[in-house]
Amino acid sequence: MAKLYFHYSTMNAGKSTMLLQASYNYHERGMRTVILIAAFDDRAGRGMISSRIGLSAEAIPFEAGDDLFAVVERLHAEAPVDCVFVDEAHFMTPEHVWQLAHIVDRMNLPVMTYGLRTDFRGKLFPASQELLAIADELREVRTICHCGRKATMVVRHDGEGRVLHEGAQIDVGGNEKYVSLCRRHWEEAMAEG
């Protein structure tokens, strides 16, 4: 029975690495996967996913108005698809999440999504909120704060060490903008800034 999975964490927990490894496992067994990523996330190049440890793969870039069910249905008609992967799932819209659920429910294909749960202000991303509500399986990917405790939050900084409290919810970036912290150190960092 196919399921909709949401693997969530803070920054730098290895979500993209996990996605790339899982997709590779399918390919190694002669199976076909589809990897999706938001078109505006072009850090590794348009339609590319790259992990911090150097793994990478091509992905299909999608826009906010795209119908992911239709994309996968078309690809599946061309050649059978065995699993669908979505990196940076928090960049989707809630409508995209439901389209993924339709892939699971109507096409009987597993869909594995990987993304952040909350933004730099500690608020849920709309797609993450939808995934937390309807995914069949939730899997936390853990990483650690500088103190050694589990990191559950992330701060955004201006590049000069100052913590930001305002700004767009979505601002694509990596270590140059974001730091993963435990809740205690996140609160302290937000109070200082």
Q: Mind listing the pLDDT tens digit for each residue in 89-134?
A: 999 999 999 999 999 999 999 999 999 999 888 899 999 999 999 9
Contact indicator for 8, 128 with CB cutoff of 8 Å? yes
Beta bridge partners of 116: 9
Asked about 88 being catalytic, the answer comes back as yes
pLDDT digits (tens, 9 = 90+) for 25-53: 999 999 999 999 988 777 666 877 878 77
Q: Which of 53-67, 82-96, 154-168 has the highest mean pLDDT?
A: 82-96
Using CB atoms within 10 Å of the CB of residue 176, give its burial: 0 to 12 exposed, 13 to 18 middle, 19+ buried. Answer: exposed
Residue 80 CB burial class (10 angstroms; 0-12, 13-18, ≥19): exposed
Domains of the chain: 4-141 (3.40.50.300)
Query: Taking a C-beta distance cutoff of 8 angstroms, is the pair 137, 3 a contact?
Result: yes
- CA dist 118 and 149 (Å) reads 18
Catalytic residue (one of 63, 88, 140, 187): 88
User: Is there a contact between 124 and 153 (Cβ–Cβ < 8 Å)?
Assistant: no
Helix (H, G, I), strand (E, B) or coil at 134: helix
> Beta-carbon neighbour count of residue 112 at 10 Å?
25
Which residues are paired to 138 by β-bridges? 6
> The pTM is what?
0.88
